[in-house]
Structure 1
Amino acid sequence: MNRKNYLFLAVICLLIFSLQAVCLAAETADTLPNVKILATGGTIAGSGATNTTTVGYTAAVTPVDALINNVPELKKVANVSGEQISQIASENMTNEVWLKLGKRVNQLLAQDDVDGIVITHGTDTLEETAYFLNLVVKSNKPVVVVGSMRPPTAMSADGMLNLYRATILAGSKDAIGKGVLVMLNDTIHSGRDVTKTITDRVDTFRAPEIGPLGFFTGDQPVFYRAPLRKHTTATEFDISHLNDLPRVDIAYHYANNTGVVIEALTRAGAKGIVHAGTGNGSIGKAEYPAIEAAQKQGVVIVRSARVGNGIIARNGEANDDKYNFVASDNLNPQKARILLMLALTKTNNPQEIQKMFWEY
């Protein structure tokens, strides 16, 4: 066989191998889940001045396509594409962004070519967004909210691994039907139960009394329990027609409180007020005149606690029946605010709203 024949055979073999590689890649892509990554900003998209800057960095500067490109391993576990919903530090989260995000999530999950969604988010209000979505998403497909405590520029940055594993979780059949999930630090939480507990450590997200739903072992999510409270497709809340949410604020109780905050919130137009009381949701005597005046203007009052954990006993530290208060169950003030906002889109009857707090 002459040299030309060898070259011809070599070219043919190279073409065959290339075609096989293309076919194998196409076959692999066909078997991977399709995961949409929606970005809202936060530390996971932040940047610090040095690789030791873990506080005082700038959040929300990296666009979603760059986030995806920074984790090339994502392509091995899912067919991913990104979309920028907002680009903010999460302390600047608004009702408007929530509505935009919730509607877009529902649009995408209604598509046959979307198997799950990952939402990148700042950690400061991550738990609030997760609970809001847990109440308004209308699909059993996985939705995973993820963030990071260190910017990508820092040593031992946690964002890339969190995003990688959140993507695995969003494509996992084991995550179907478990409501909106939160995944950081290899720990899987329910969006209802989880809260940020530490200002600056990577193990900040916890459900102190209830515990996580599961964990990652390597690249495998493992669940040990499922949420029992109604969520997603089992809720009565529909945001498809909403352009805004009722104003609900939080009044924090403290020694020597005179009720001036409740008076100010009522004047500002609050439709509901969550009272973050002491102990088991206690209300100071000096606050009652302001509360009763607010109720005469139609303001719904929910009793929660600044303690952050525990069940608010109905008719325990206050006569809820007499004063038409709503007990927040075990929702902390910021999550009680989310549920009250959505409840007020359905009714302003405290008895009906109390039923919702027992259910959700």
Structure 2
Amino acid sequence: MNPRPVTIFTLGGTIAMAPPMDGGAGAMAPGTGGGVVPAMDADALCAAVPELSRVAAISTVNFRELPGAHLGLDDLVELARAIEAARDGGAAGAVVTQGTDTMEETAFVLDTVGDPEFPVAVTGALRHPGQPGADGPANLLAATAFAACGEAVGIGTVVVMNDEIHAAALVQKTHATRPSAFSSPGAGPIGFITEGRPRILSSPRARAHLALAALGGGGGPVALITIGLGDDGSLARLAGQGGYDGLVVDAMGAGHVPEAVADALAKVAQRLPVVLASRTGAGAVLAATYGFKGSESDLTARGLIRAGWLPGIKARLLLMLCLRAGHGRPAIRRAFADCAGG
């Protein structure tokens, strides 16, 4: 059987990093402190993993050369369009390599605006190529195996790291540096890579979908704030006055805030969409269990939109995409309900 065609898009990140050189003497560039920076292009990454040719017919795109922390939503929308073009050009799947800092966000955006029938695997590394036990080559091979796998059709976008396959809506980076940094709290991986083959155990059902063609260039910034003990609402008030087009609140527990914050959020929600998420990282914002001022039922009665089980960083992205698509509040509520039971 001929290998299926897979396009690998490289964005930079630890998987493609090396110490910077000064241009010829082999010395590290001044001012870098010897820290690694993006350095390897797509061809160099693939050349380091010769086994790829046995898994798929590879084509490559050097899409960006950035740390994960430097990517923005414009980059991801453009990437989604490039992946769509690869699909239309005959690719059976795609792999995206990037920095792990924002990997769960990239996967979520691609899953939200992409074709769920087209497999996309986002991967990277926690250890750069110069470190002992570098995990990039194995992750790239595993991600390519997923993208080339016929059983992956209909799964949408996933994160493939450490031989685990995670759904885009569920996956989180839960450790700063370990190769096992990615997990899906409350759900677990939807599959594994065993002996080089993807083993898919379940398929994600909840998914918000926004047509890529409907995304305009509009939609201003969306703020994300986390509520802590004794918060007096100052940050919420500032966010409401700071030129933002939306606000996401990582509230306590199942969607609770202090009284002063509740009053501030109610005023902000009169002018722009405010989404209520939980800072816990797992579990859903409740709807009608608690009734005190600042509870989930009080806040939703004042106009806040429940994020369901989406964490704040993904709720922010979904709100930004909704605003780019020109959605009003009813459509935004539906998008959160469809994706995460909001």
Query: TM-score by structure 1 length?
Result: 0.84
Counterpart for residue 43 of structure 1: 14
CA deviations on 1:246-282 (whole Å, 9 max, x unpaired) are: 4211011012222222222223321111100111121
Structure 2: any 5+ residue segments left out of the alignment?
21-27, 29-33, 290-295
Alpha carbons of structure 1 residues 240 and 83: separation in structure 2 relative to 1, 3 Å: farther
Pick aligned residue for 1:271 from 245, 250, 269: 245
Counterpart for residue 108 of structure 1: 86
Measured after TM superposition, the shift of residue 347 of structure 1 is 5.3
Measured after TM superposition, the shift of residue 348 of structure 1 is 5.2
**CA–CA separation in structure 2 for the residues paired with 1:252 and 1:357:** 19
Identity of aligned residues (%): 29
Pick aligned residue for 1:80 from 51, 58, 63: 58
**CA–CA separation in structure 1 for the residues paired with 2:64 and 2:105:** 16
**CA–CA separation in structure 1 for the residues paired with 2:258 and 2:64:** 40
Counterpart for residue 224 of structure 2: 250
RMSD: 2.1
Measured after TM superposition, the shift of residue 346 of structure 1 is 4.3
| Mapping 1:138-153, distance limit 5 Å | 138=115, 140-153=117-130
Measured after TM superposition, the shift of residue 62 of structure 1 is 1.4
Alignment of 1:133 onto 2:110: yes
Native 8 Å contact 1:237 1:342 kept in 2: no
**CA–CA separation in structure 1 for the residues paired with 2:218 and 2:75:** 10
Query: TM-score by structure 2 length?
Result: 0.88
Counterpart for residue 222 of structure 1: 199
| Counterpart residue type for residue 272 of structure 1 | G
Counterpart for residue 234 of structure 2: 260
Alignment of 1:309 onto 2:288: no
**CA–CA separation in structure 1 for the residues paired with 2:218 and 2:60:** 26
Counterpart for residue 206 of structure 1: 183
Native 8 Å contact 1:315 1:321 kept in 2: no
Measured after TM superposition, the shift of residue 325 of structure 1 is 1.1
Native 8 Å contact 2:214 2:325 kept in 1: no
| Counterpart residue type for residue 213 of structure 1 | I
Query: Secondary structure of the residue that 2:101 maps to in structure 1?
Result: coil
| Mapping 1:12-91, distance limit 5 Å | 31-47=2-18, 57-91=35-69
Query: Secondary structure of the residue that 1:125 maps to in structure 2?
Result: helix
User: May I ask how many residue pairs the two structures share in their alignment?
Assistant: 322
**CA–CA separation in structure 1 for the residues paired with 2:195 and 2:219:** 41
**CA–CA separation in structure 1 for the residues paired with 2:39 and 2:333:** 41
Query: Secondary structure of the residue that 1:340 maps to in structure 2?
Result: helix
